[in-house]
Amino acid sequence: MGARDATVFQEVEHAESMLSLDNVFDAPELRQWAERVAKGLGSDVETLNFAVEPKIDGLALSITYVDGALHQAATRGDGRVGEDVTENVRTIRNVPVTLPGVARGRLEVRGEVFLALDDFHELNDRQRAQGAKEFANPRNAAAGSLRQKDPRVSAQRPLSFLAYQLVDVSGSLSFTTYLDTIRQLAEWGFLTAEETRLEVGVEAMIERSDWYEEHRHDLRYDIDGIVVKVDDLAQREQLGFTSRAPRWAIARKLPPEERTTRLLAIEVSIGRTGRATPYAVLEPVVVAGSTVSMATLHNQDQVAAKDVRPGDLVIVRKAGDVIPEVVGAVAEPGKRRAKRWTFPSNCPDCGQPLERASDQSDTYCVNPACPAQLLHQIVHFASRGALDIEGLGEQRVAQLLGAGLVSDVADLFTLRAEVLAALEGLGELSATSLVREIDKAKSTSLSRVLVGLGIRHVGPVAARALATHFRNYAALAHAPLEELEDLAGVGPVIAQSVYQYCREEESRERVGRFVAAGLSLVERESGRALEATLQGKAVVVTGALEGYSRDEAEAAIVARGGTSPGSVSKKTYCVVVGEAPGASKLEKAQALGVPRVGANEFETLLGTGTWTSTLA
Ligand code: IVH
């Protein structure tokens, strides 16, 4: 696409570079910026005048007027050289072709090309009616429309242009404040941001920027932040520029991008512990650069609190641009809503009744034979933190279950290569290698088996404590409850869970089969100090990590020489992202370029001090 387009549009060198803006991410950072500005000016931050305006999520454009007539329009490009889109820009409403009362001189008007939300929806309706591809979001639609080869097509697109900068190239005008220039632009016929306010002092300025955060969805266009600018043009001159941005302006970026889409259905998935997690099935929508068609709703109470119902228009965002979640429903006056969604009383996979303890927010399928649980249990058993069996991912396990070859983790040890080789997509070589991997895993250690069994509340820390103390499974299985409770790293809840597990008929049978298959139930990895893989490194954990309480996760990091502070800074080594992570930590990490690592990498991180991949 790039090559073809490059031949269509001429290059244009900007008379003055089109700079970018520096970013801040919250009110305290905005305050720091204002204080820096005041210091640079030798003035008082409480009396400075700030213009506070929306940061439109569109494309920057520079329009040159010579002797009052539109001469040329160019995209930002790399800031120095852009593309000539004059003919297309001529078709944009609210771009005047002549500037009334301007007879001489060269001016540049800069601003943002965008599609107002109403216009975007109308355009997509039209695209759909014509069987053409719909646009993912207003920004893409604006970009595509501006860069049309044929201006007649551009003219059909309801593009808008909002002006926010006047560059007086020939120096024929004289203004003393920014708002004066904006008023002049409006008089000439340009669209300017009606939400722009002049605020005196840092407090009022911050308050106004908070207003945008609260009202971002009430605006006619998508915004991705707020721009604060010093209003006094002489002060701007004094402050000047860095190489990439003016010192007199700053963008306060807003937290995760939110989009609206239709909630098609609410479904429930069953995890390995039987936990029933409701999730939203959505009409696909692009959020922060990728298509989202499902989003977690966490638990029954969350669905009730958000009161989202199938058929609703809902707001979706990605916490820290990573994990999709449904924020809530958008009111649609006059529209009949579906009945309030109720949590199913039976497991969607096995049909058995679901249970929820009165003091807990989670609901469980307690049928040990539930196929969905089984799938995730086996995947977990084979995962890196447990038996680490290569080649046993979710798809392969589902295939084994479907073929009736396994119905319990212990069945893995009975698999034969000849039988596996007959499965689709496996073949003799992969079948033999899978059986070899399973065989290799038999010489594992007790702590890994304990992790793999997925005993409720038992994570790697508790598993290690149990394995180190008891040395073999038989000793653990016969230990009195008090002995379990007294162990460091094992509280009464874990102790009770382990005690109960060991006494269940099904577990006893499973362990019997492990022994028969030759699986090691003896601790090998204990007795030595843990390697200081995270020496001096700060690892921030956000959200829940399966198998670890917050304290356990911290203890595990500290045990490897690291620290686990509660907030992200430039010095943070990485952020481990669990379930329902804190948006602000993720945002901060993203802003500072701190790597964000998935929860599934936590074990690797502890073991090696690094990870295999970061989150996109
Ligand atoms: S002022 C030298 N004001 O944000 C200052 N920019 O991240 C020039 N933008 O390239 C920019 N709304 O495309 C300014 N009210 C606003 C804006 C705005 C959106 C865009 C613009 C710029 C980018 C910088």
* Tens digit of each residue's pLDDT (9 = 90 or more) over 82-134: 999 999 999 998 899 999 999 899 999 999 999 999 999 899 899 889 888 77
Q: What is the pLDDT of residue 290?
A: 65
Region 196-224: mean pLDDT is: 93
The residues, any chain, with a CB within 8 Å of residue 214's CB and separated by 6 or more, are: none
Whole-angstrom Cα distance, residue 38 to residue 395?
59
Q: Which residues are catalytic?
A: 55
Alpha carbon 467 to chain centroid, angstroms: 37
Ligand 1 within 6 A of 396 CB?
A: no
Question: How far is it, in rounded angstroms, from Cα 583 to Cα 329?
Answer: 19
**C-alpha distance from residue 605 to each of 497, 612, 614 (Å):** 27, 9, 12
Q: Comparing 52-66, 187-201, 218-232, 484-498, which segment has the lowest mean pLDDT?
A: 484-498
Classify strands 363-365 and 354-356 as parallel, antiparallel or unpaired: antiparallel
Any idea which architecture 538-608 has in CATH?
A: 3-Layer(aba) Sandwich (3.40)
Q: Which single residue is written with the structure tokens 């509660």?
A: 566
pLDDT at 289: 58
Cα of 285 from ligand 1 centre, angstroms: 26
Query: Which residue from 18, 76, 164 has its CB within 8 A of the most atoms of ligand 1, so it is best to mutate?
Result: 164
Contact status, residue 362 vs residue 356, Cβ threshold 8 Å = yes
Asked whether residue 322 carries a pLDDT value surpassing 70, the answer given is no
The answer, yes or no, to whether any atom of ligand 1 lies below 6 A from the CB of 164, is yes
Tokens matching residue 184: 């002049």
- How far is C-alpha 247 from the geometric centre of its chain's CA atoms? 30
- Which residue, among 510, 511, 579, has the nearest Cα to 541 in the 3D structure? 579
- pLDDT tens-digit series, residues 256-284: 778 899 999 999 999 998 999 999 999 99
Q: How far is the CA of 20 from the centre of ligand 1 (A)?
A: 7
Choose one of 25, 52, 55, 223 to mutate for the ligand 1 pocket test, by most ligand atoms within 8 angstroms of C-beta: 55
Reading the block at residue 359, the tokens are: 């003091």
Q: What is the pLDDT of residue 556?
A: 83
70 pairs with which residues across the strands? 65
Q: Is 112 in the pocket of ligand 1 (CB under 6 A)?
A: yes
Cα separation, 257 vs 255, in Å, equals 6
Cβ atoms of 51 and 234 closer than 8 Å? no
Is it true that 11-253 and 258-355 share their CATH fold? Answer: no
Check if 57 has its Cβ closer than 6 Å to any atom of ligand 1. no
Nearest atom in ligand 1 to 196's CA: 15
Q: Are strands 574-577 and 596-598 parallel, antiparallel or unpaired?
A: parallel
pLDDT at 254: 85
| 357 class by beta-carbon count within 10 Å (0-12 exposed, 13-18 middle, 19+ buried) | exposed
Residue 552 CA to ligand 1 center (angstroms) comes to 45
CA distances (Å), origin 270, targets 277, 377, 396: 6, 11, 18
Confidence class for position 528, pLDDT limits 50, 70, 90: low
Nearest alpha carbon to residue 448 among 394, 385, 405: 385
21 CA distance to ligand 1 middle (Å): 6
What average pLDDT score do residues 324-328 get? 91
The span from the CA of 341 to the CA of 344, in Å, is 9
Domain boundaries, the chain: 11-253, 258-355, 538-608
Report whether residue 249 contacts ligand 1, using a CB cutoff of 6 Å.
yes
Measured from the Cα of 60, ligand 1's closest atom is: 13
Neighbouring C-beta atoms of residue 208, cutoff 10 Å: 20
pLDDT, tens only, 41-78: 999 999 999 999 999 989 999 999 999 999 999 999 88
**Which residues, 6+ apart, have CB-to-CB distance to 67 below 8 Å?**
102, 103, 104, 105
Is 246 touching ligand 1 by the criterion CB < 6 Å? yes
Average pLDDT for 527-550: 81
322-354 burial: b if 16+ Cβ within 10 Å, else e: bbbbbbebeeeeeeeeeeebebbeebebbeeeb
Reduced DSSP (H G I as helix, E B as strand, rest coil) percent helix, strand, coil of the chain, to 5: 35, 25, 40
Taking each helix axis from N to C terminus, what angle separates 138-146 and 117-129, rounded to the nearest 10 degrees?
A: 70
Q: Facing residues of 53 across strands? A: 227
User: Is 55's C-beta closer than 6 angstroms to any atom of ligand 1?
Assistant: yes
Alpha-carbon distance of 539 to 120, in angstroms, equals 42
Q: How far is the CA of 63 from the centre of ligand 1 (A)?
A: 15
Residue 371 near residue 401, CB atoms below 8 Å: yes
The reply to whether ligand 1 has any atom less than 6 angstroms from the CB of 60 is yes
Q: Which residue, judged by its Cα, is nearest atom 22 of ligand 1?
A: 20
Sign of the torsion formed by the C-alpha atoms of 452, 455, 459 and 463: negative
* Ligand 1 midpoint to CA 51 (Å): 13
Amino acid at 556: A
CATH 2.40.50.140 fits 258-355, yes or no: yes
In CATH, the number for domain 11-253 is 3.30.470.30
Token pair listed for 429: 């070589």
How far apart are the C-alpha atoms of 56 and 6, rounded to whole Å? 26
Greater model confidence, 580 or 309? 309
Instruction: Give residue 390's region: left, alpha or beta (phi > 0; psi -120 to 50).
Output: beta
Of 485, 507, 487, 480, the residue nearest 495 (C-alpha): 485
Answer with the residue of higher pLDDT: 589 or 63.
63
pLDDT at 540: 95
CB 287 within 8 A of CB 136: no
